């Protein structure tokens, strides 16, 4: 007899435990009848279903056509959502802040992005520059928002003959006491409306620098703190530049956002006229209810500052800032102050959206309003008709987004 097995047959060798291997598709003795045994590492044959996965694991030998994307590693946002959550106090505060939008909508039709921008600026202690043609409700928007938040507000019409003391305050001689006393200017408020700020000389414009950055005013060697919160909402007309003084870069950089208020579309303008035809009075704010107050706003700002920012998001901000400095169409890129302001705004936006973590989408949505007034176009780019927003959009599209 031959010592070798017949052609086409293989001799079965026992396993280390003394048992013979089980042929494919045949249940071993310890497998109940009716279940199919699929050896590890072998694909299932047509007509056979793979064994169900173990609890918490994956099935071995996935059938052809299975969607393997469900087993892909979790995204950055999914990982952050699992680790970071807002507290019940956070949700209560943000609901009160979010209710401001509804109250403002009772008076101002549209301009939702401007409402959100001012709310974000209040949450991260910033200031806003409102740019738009006359009559797009810039001043009305700020007044209504201050009413809904129970904030004190003051309005200053900036003119060529306005003096710094007219804004910050000055020392006045008191004839009764025979001494000089300080009389506060309109800057001592929570929300200052600086109407047409580019119509006053640089000397008066610079009087706001200390107030905007340090939140204090120094007159005659005495420093006086401003009330908290403090926000400057400055307006300027982008069409008429005769008799104006462009804001210096040092002052522009103090503004967190530059919000552009466009003319309303047809449907929005129809609603505006319908309200006025029904007797609407833009000076009557009695319908606007105060849904939050100063302690609520200060506590909300503190909570928004605790939003987690992942290292991947920080790196994304750095890449965007570096791209503005290398862009061939820009002569001036973003400074470190602009980068830190973008990070703070991203935290506030994430918190207002109900998340305890910032995402790259938060950063992307804030780049135009945070960067457009901090960069300068080269003269040749201006001659070619390139705008700042176009350059920023190109930077956003070409910068890798962490996922």
What is the domain class of 95-289 according to CATH?
Answer: alpha beta
Residue ranges, CATH 1.10.8.80, the chain: 305-403
Q: What was the pLDDT predicted at 30?
A: 54
Cα gap 172→126, rounded to integer Å: 31
Instruction: Find how far residue 73's CA is from the centre of its chain.
Output: 27
User: Tokens at residue 356, please?
Assistant: 């305890």
Which residues are CB-contacts of 55 (< 8 A; sequence separation ≥ 6)? none
Cα gap 20→18, rounded to integer Å: 7
Residue ranges, CATH 3.40.50.300, the chain: 95-289
Q: What was the pLDDT predicted at 19?
A: 52
Q: What was the pLDDT predicted at 287?
A: 86
Q: What was the pLDDT predicted at 208?
A: 86
Q: What was the pLDDT predicted at 4?
A: 44
Strand partners, 191: 153, 231
Q: What was the pLDDT predicted at 286?
A: 84
Q: What was the pLDDT predicted at 2?
A: 45
Q: What was the pLDDT predicted at 38?
A: 47
Low-confidence ranges of the chain (pLDDT < 50): 1-11, 16, 22, 24-25, 27, 31, 33-39, 41, 44-51, 53-65
Which residues are CB-contacts of 199 (< 8 A; sequence separation ≥ 6)? 158, 159, 160, 243, 244, 245
Question: What DSSP string describes 238-288?
Answer: SS--TT--PPPHHHHTT-SEEEE-PPP-HHHHHHHHHHHHTT--TT--TT-
Q: What was the pLDDT predicted at 80?
A: 85
Closest CA to 345 of 368, 327, 325: 368
356 DSSP assignment: S
| Phi/psi of residue 281, nearest 5 degrees | -115, 110
Total Cβ atoms within 10 A of residue 209:
13
Question: What DSSP string describes 172-222?
Answer: EEETTTTEEEEEE-TTSSSEEEEETGGGS-HHHHTHHHHHHHHSEEEETTE
What is the domain class of 305-403 according to CATH?
Answer: mainly alpha
């Amino acid at each position: 007899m031959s010592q070798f097995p017949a052609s086409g047959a293989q001799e079965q060798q026992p396993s280390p435990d003394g048992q013979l291997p089980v042929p494919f598709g045949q249940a071993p003795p310890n497998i109940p009848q009716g279940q199919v045994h699929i050896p590890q590492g072998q694909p299932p044959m047509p007509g056979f279903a793979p064994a169900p996965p173990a609890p918490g694991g994956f099935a071995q030998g996935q059938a052809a056509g299975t969607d393997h994307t469900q087993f892909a590693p979790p995204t950055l946002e999914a990982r952050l959502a699992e680790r970071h959550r807002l507290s019940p106090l956070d949700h209560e505060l943000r609901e009160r802040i979010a209710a401001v939008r509804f109250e403002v909508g009772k008076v101002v039709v549209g301009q939702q992005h401007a409402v959100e921008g001012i709310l974000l600026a209040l949450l991260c202690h910033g200031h806003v520059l409102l740019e738009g043609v006359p009559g797009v409700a810039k001043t009305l928007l700020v007044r209504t928002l201050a009413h809904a938040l129970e904030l004190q507000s003051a309005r200053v019409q900036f003119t060529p003959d306005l003096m710094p003391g007219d804004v910050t305050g000055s020392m006045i001689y008191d004839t009764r006491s025979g001494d000089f006393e300080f009389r506060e200017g309109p800057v001592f408020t929570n929300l200052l409306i600086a109407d047409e700020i580019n119509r006053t000389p640089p000397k008066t414009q610079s009087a706001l620098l200390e107030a905007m950055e340090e939140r204090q005013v120094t007159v005659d060697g005495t420093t006086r703190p401003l009330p908290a919160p403090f926000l400057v909402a400055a307006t300027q007309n982008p069409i008429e530049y005769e008799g104006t003084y462009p804001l210096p870069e040092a002052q522009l950089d103090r503004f967190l956002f530059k919000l552009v208020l466009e003319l309303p579309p047809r449907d929005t303008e129809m609603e505006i006229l319908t309200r006025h035809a029904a007797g609407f009075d833009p000076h009557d704010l009695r319908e606007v209810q105060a849904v939050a107050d100063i302690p609520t706003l200060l506590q909300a700002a503190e909570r928004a500052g605790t939003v987690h920012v992942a290292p991947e998001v920080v790196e994304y901000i750095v890449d965007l800032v570096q791209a503005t400095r290398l862009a061939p169409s820009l002569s001036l890129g973003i400074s470190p102050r602009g980068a830190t302001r973008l990070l703070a705004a991203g935290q506030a936006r994430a918190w207002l959206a109900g998340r305890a973590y910032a995402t790259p989408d938060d950063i992307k949505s804030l780049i135009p309003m945070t960067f457009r007034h901090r960069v300068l176009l080269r003269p040749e780019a201006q001659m070619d008709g390139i705008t700042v927003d176009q350059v920023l959009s190109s930077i956003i599209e070409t910068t890798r987004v962490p996922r």
